[in-house]
Structure 1
Amino acid sequence: MLPHDRLALAKGLIVAYFDHAARERVETALICFGGNGAARRFGPAVPRWWNARWLEPVDGGGGTPLADGIAAAANLLARDARRAPDKQHWLWVLSDGRTRETPAKPAAADHVVFVDFDDGAVRIGRGARLADAWGAQWVSADALCTDLAG
């Protein structure tokens, strides 16, 4: 996600989401996945403030370990579904889809939104295909930014 500042855009969208979650008091978790695998950076909890250190170590390039990120999210969602079975469990995936992996949709995810950062000279369309296979909502990062702006 390095070309065209897509990684910076993704980080900005995450900050905006955390601001919204704090205002609405929505329990949230953040799992980042990049060249070195996946790691939970926050939560699950209601965010009270934003900490830039959660995103500083996230790099782009070197391939997308999507399966690692989805597996970490699946474990977190399953644990929370056991704790709070009546709660809606949403999964937002922000990725350029530049991976050969095709992970399964996490069973405990009630609703999935795939925010697609694919903007290469040749769009590969993996994010849209994965969203379709999962029955997930697909949105381009640019469209989401336009919606948030106004």
Structure 2
Amino acid sequence: MHASSQGALRGERGTRIAWPPTLAAMRERGLRREHLRFVRETPRGGVLHCFVLDCSGSMLAGQRLALAKGLLIALFDHASAQRAEAALICFGGAGADLRFGPAVPRWWNERWLQPVGGGGGSPLESGVRRAAELLGRSARRRPAQQRWLWILTDGRTRDIPARPLDADEVVVVDFERGALRLGRCEALADAWGARCVAPEELIG
């Protein structure tokens, strides 16, 4: 998994550089960003990663949903290794459903995602509303917890939801492909002050 995604999954803020592995990655070359390795530090209140997965019909094109599922397995496995809580909300068709958590995903694997199908419209607002409710409950239960919101979508929606107030950090994973790009994932990230990344940046 990409170093930047590892940092995100640890919920790092102002982390310290781990110099021995950084220098090993550097070897004889000059120091570059991709060489940096960090000391693993977890916030005292723990970390929650809330994943919101677009399961609409447009995500079936070009195997986007399959790619998103594969990425989710890697993200959940990493969250489990860091003993971070995770939650999964799927939206598509007429609404959104909570499929997992929030809990530490001890037995997460591909069997959890196999029943998740795609089709219908893209009710992004419903998915974000469910995430906002979940993050709000977690904020009241564990105020010191650091809460991450991940939106995995191709942006093929006209919904413009408000940014959940209890999300400390937001990452929009852009699955839009093809020559005709609407750029709505970038627009959503800009409106929310969030990061917008391609799935390849998290996998590579």
| TM-score computed with the length of structure 1 as normaliser | 0.91
State the SS of the aligned residue for 1:89: strand
Higher-Rg member (1/2): 2
Q: Does 1:73 align with 2:128?
A: no
The separation in 1 between residues aligned to 2:178 and 2:126, in whole angstroms, is 23
Q: Does 1:32 align with 2:90?
A: yes
Instruction: Please give the per-residue CA displacement for 1:80-115, whole angstroms capped at 9, x wherever unaligned.
Output: 001111111100110001000000000000000000
> How many residue pairs end up in the alignment?
146
Aligned twin of 1:138: 196
| 1:102 counterpart letter in structure 2 | I
The separation in 2 between residues aligned to 1:66 and 1:59, in whole angstroms, is 16
Aligned twin of 1:87: 145
Give 5+ residue unaligned stretches, structure 2.
1-58
Alpha-carbon contact 2:94-2:121 (below 8 Å) kept: no
Cα deviation, residue 51, structure 1: 4.9
The separation in 2 between residues aligned to 1:144 and 1:17, in whole angstroms, is 9
The correspondence for 1:129, drawn from 167, 174, 187, is: 187
Aligned twin of 1:23: 81
Cα deviation, residue 4, structure 1: 1.6
State the SS of the aligned residue for 2:62: helix
Alignment RMSD: 1.4
Identity %: 63
| 1:31 counterpart letter in structure 2 | I
| 1:94 counterpart letter in structure 2 | L
| 1:29 counterpart letter in structure 2 | A
The separation in 1 between residues aligned to 2:163 and 2:151, in whole angstroms, is 11
Give 5+ residue unaligned stretches, structure 1.
none
> Which one has more relative contact order, counting CA pairs under 8 Å at least 6 apart?
2
State the SS of the aligned residue for 2:146: coil
Q: 1:55 to 1:35 in 2, by over 3 A?
A: farther
Cα deviation, residue 62, structure 1: 2.5
| TM-score computed with the length of structure 2 as normaliser | 0.68
Q: Does 1:7 align with 2:65?
A: yes
Instruction: Please give the per-residue CA displacement for 1:22-45, whole angstroms capped at 9, x wherever unaligned.
Output: 111101111111124111111111
The separation in 1 between residues aligned to 2:78 and 2:139, in whole angstroms, is 22
Q: 1:61 to 1:122 in 2, by over 3 A?
A: farther
The separation in 2 between residues aligned to 1:47 and 1:5, in whole angstroms, is 25
| 1:22 counterpart letter in structure 2 | S
Alpha-carbon contact 1:35-1:59 (below 8 Å) kept: no
The separation in 2 between residues aligned to 1:33 and 1:53, in whole angstroms, is 19
Cα deviation, residue 21, structure 1: 1.1
State the SS of the aligned residue for 1:39: strand
| 2:171 counterpart letter in structure 1 | V
| 1:89 counterpart letter in structure 2 | R
